[in-house]
Amino acid sequence: MNRLLLFLGLSTGLLFSSCGDDVQDNVVINIPDTDEECCNAEETFLAYSFLNNGYVKELTELRDTIDNKYVLKVYSAGGKLHVGYNDLFFALIKIATDGYVRDFQVNDIRPLMTMTAMGMQHSTPTETETTVYNETFPAVRHAWVSFLMSSGDNGYWELSYKAAWQQKEIEHTPTVIEVNALPAGQNWLKSFKKDNQTYYLTLVNPNTFQTGNNTIRAYVSKQSADKKVPYLTAEETFTIEITPTMPDMGDHTSPNNTPLIKQESGIYEGNLNLSMTGLWNIHLVVKDQEGNIVTGGDNDNSGYSSLYWSVTI
């Protein structure tokens, strides 16, 4: 079979070559030039570059195979998981050629915490089915999980999923995973109640915030009637008003913030302005579609909502 060889040079950068000569200090990726299962050369190049950019790393304990011909790999930021929001990336690789399979599905993603001391189990806010992460490299699929608590003496987390490609299917059985606590003082996940129903507010990747204007994103998830079932994004529509303050600087605030509004995709987006580095409390007031305050109307000692995320930039 003719192959297009992609070389990733440690000193010379990235390039394509049609020859098979060895290149010193380079990693060689074999890309079949005619394979309907796999991505073309450009898509493979972009997928490989993304999954080997040093930011995402494989969660090797979640790896699985299909018919001993394909390996499914799962990635996260730094190859670790923590309390609150986590991106999960999935790639299906053809073992014989190292080609990235274009069309596959991962669904029924199920995180489950077993509380050993209490003898109970519960799930957490989750996107249970993957979508294509970037249309320019369709071999990488994406989902997210927001963990309510860390692993430890109180219990342990497991994660399972199902994957399918054409007529092939696998079920990855529950596997123990390590979920780390956030740094002291950080809190990226909050809950509130409405009509005796529990909702969760997940702040998306606040570790990317910088001084100045930021697009702030969040999900609102609804606890399942069966707490062992993943908590899906809520169908209800809310508006989330935000006020950032600095508790270490006399609770001074920063202007030009806009509420988080639900988008067509289900994610909430708004604008957050952070005027300087340090610890910020992002106070939240959640309103329903009629503008009634659902939660956050009671103030703490700062004079702002007692419901808030805490972020350090």
pLDDT digits (tens, 9 = 90+) for 14-23: 333 333 344 3
Residue ending a domain, choose from 134, 150, 180: 180
Report which of 40, 15, 33 is spatially closest to residue 101, judged by C-alpha positions.
40
Instruction: Share the mean pLDDT of the chain.
Output: 90
| Total domains, the chain | 2
pLDDT band for position 153 (cuts 50, 70, 90):
confident
Other beta carbons within 10 angstroms of residue 93's beta carbon come to 20
* Residue 8, pLDDT above cutoff 90: no
* Residue 301, pLDDT above cutoff 90: no
Which pLDDT value is given to residue 18? 34
Same domain, 101 and 154: yes
Which pLDDT value is given to residue 302? 79
Same domain, 161 and 199: no
Same domain, 85 and 159: yes
Residue ending a domain, choose from 163, 180, 197: 180
Same domain, 269 and 202: yes
pLDDT band for position 24 (cuts 50, 70, 90):
very low
Question: 107-117 pLDDT, tens per residue?
Answer: 999 999 999 98
- Tell me if 29 is assigned to some domain: no
Same domain, 210 and 276: yes
Q: Cα–Cα distances in Å, from 186 out to 199, 206, 260, 309?
A: 20, 10, 20, 8
What amino acid is encoded at 45 in this protein?
A: F
Q: Strand, helix or coil at 19?
A: coil
Residue 286 contacts residue 295 (beta carbons within 8 Å):
yes
Query: Pairing mode, if any, of strands 258-262 and 252-253?
Result: unpaired
- Tell me if 193 is assigned to some domain: yes
Rounded mean pLDDT of 51-59?
A: 95
- Tell me if 297 is assigned to some domain: yes
- Tell me if 302 is assigned to some domain: yes
Question: 248-271 pLDDT, tens per residue?
Answer: 999 999 999 999 999 999 999 999
Residue ending a domain, choose from 180, 199, 220: 180
- Tell me if 19 is assigned to some domain: no
- Tell me if 97 is assigned to some domain: yes
pLDDT band for position 80 (cuts 50, 70, 90):
very high
Question: Which CATH number fits the domain that encloses residue 104?
Answer: 2.60.40
Same domain, 75 and 107: yes
- Tell me if 48 is assigned to some domain: no
Same domain, 236 and 131: no
- Tell me if 196 is assigned to some domain: yes
Other beta carbons within 10 angstroms of residue 226's beta carbon come to 10
Same domain, 176 and 63: yes
Ramachandran area for residue 195 (φ above 0: left; ψ -120 to 50: alpha; else beta): left
Residue 244 contacts residue 260 (beta carbons within 8 Å):
no
Q: Look-up: residue for tokens 């003082």?
A: 185
Same domain, 93 and 71: yes
Residue 70 contacts residue 101 (beta carbons within 8 Å):
yes
Q: Which domain holds residue 70?
A: 55-180
Rounded mean pLDDT of 208-218?
A: 98
Same domain, 135 and 202: no
Same domain, 173 and 218: no
Percent of the chain with pLDDT over 90: 80
* Residue 12, pLDDT above cutoff 60: no
Same domain, 143 and 202: no
